[in-house]
Amino acid sequence: MPRVFGILNRYIAAHVVLGTAVTLAVLVALFTIIELVDDFGDIGRGEYSLALAIEYSLLQIPGRMFELLPISALIGSILGLGILSGTSELIAMRAGGVTVNQITVAVLEAALVMVAISFLLGELVVPKTERIAYERRSVAISKDIALESRYGLWMRDGQSFINIRKVLPDARLADIYIYEFDDDYRLRVTTHARSAEFTGQAWRLRDIEQSEISDEGVVSRRIAEALWRSLLGPDQIAAVPIRPEALSVLGLVRYLRYLQGNGLNSTRYVFALWNKFVYPLSALVMVFVSAVLVLGPLRWMTLGPRLLTGVVVGIVFYIVQQTSMQMGLVYEAAPYVPILGPPLAFLGLGLWTARGRV
């Protein structure tokens, strides 16, 4: 009998995974097309072409897969289990002595595989593709400049404030202003360098103009080249224009260390770090909810109404999750409340619906 249950588990899991994969492919394709059409307005700026817009959209796909997995898992599980129910295979399993709990366990085993894949995707693939997508798009639009805004990029390093006007590919900077203050926050040294390149442990500044300000006056000098040691590395600077959700756990930890070390607001990055672990687990909760619905309240419905119910539940979960996170960011609440709240609420709802069934 255990061997039979093992075969049934794999059979059920295959339907759940296949249903999730089909749903994820449809949703990702839909969102990709929508964002590509929305990006058409930038085609023609600089060297940004239709081919580069398509490439940018394709590089965004891993990130969309990570974000859409919980909803896809819910709808896909309902689809897979609905097919088994529509062909009376679930009824045959129940008649053969397979309990609702055993079917649910089989579904959750498939969900665990998807959670593992989702976590690896968010750690190993998404950070790289997001960075490549951003750099190529920015370089094409801004002509070899990866980051350029009206006032550049402002960052803090201890008692110094840094204004970087241009961030270039390959760990290079251009047009850098460094303002050093004393303990009383009086400006003491201003430095301007035309370019900088990271050497591994420090930045090599070139073509430097520096002024020292004291009670006696201002002393100015020109320096051809100098090393600048800073807590800011290429990873910290490159992380600024990229969504925190697209960074890896290690990248988030490093940037959080920099922000907290300089007394800067790190709430959004703390939320993103928590989300890295909780978001894949949300897919597990959604699969459990789908099993509860198909084997419970929806067991007499046809596939169409089941899928419609799954879509509605998935949209509600997404809205509740996003609203909870945004409110948590606005009010700077402890991250475990707004991030863990929605999946735990849906888990509790699923457990309440499943009560008394075996």
Own/partner long-range contacts of 337-343 (Cβ < 8 Å, ≥24 apart):
338/271, 339/271, 339/274, 339/275, 339/278, 340/278, 342/282, 342/317, 343/278, 343/281, 343/282, 343/285
pLDDT tens readout for residues 148-182: 445 567 777 778 888 888 776 566 788 899 999 88
Between residues 259 and 339, which one has the greater pLDDT? 339
**Which two three-digit tokens encode residue 200?**
């591994």
As a whole number, the mean pLDDT across the chain is 82
Return phi, psi of residue 333, to 5°: -80, 165
Helix (H) or strand (E) holding 272: helix 267-295
Report the predicted TM-score, pTM, of the whole model to 2 decimal places.
Answer: 0.70
Domain ranges of the chain: 2-142+267-354, 153-232
d(CA 3, CA 265) in angstroms, rounded, equals 55
* DSSP secondary structure of 285-315: HHHHHHHHHHHTTTTTS-HHHHHHHHHHHHH
Helix (H) or strand (E) holding 72: helix 61-86
On whether the CB atoms of residues 76 and 22 are closer than 8 A, the answer is yes
d(CA 78, CA 95) in angstroms, rounded, equals 21
pLDDT tens readout for residues 196-250: 988 888 889 999 999 998 888 889 899 999 988 887 777 667 656 667 777 888 8
Other C-beta atoms closer than 10 Å to the C-beta of 21 total 14
Number of H helices, E strands in the chain: 11, 6
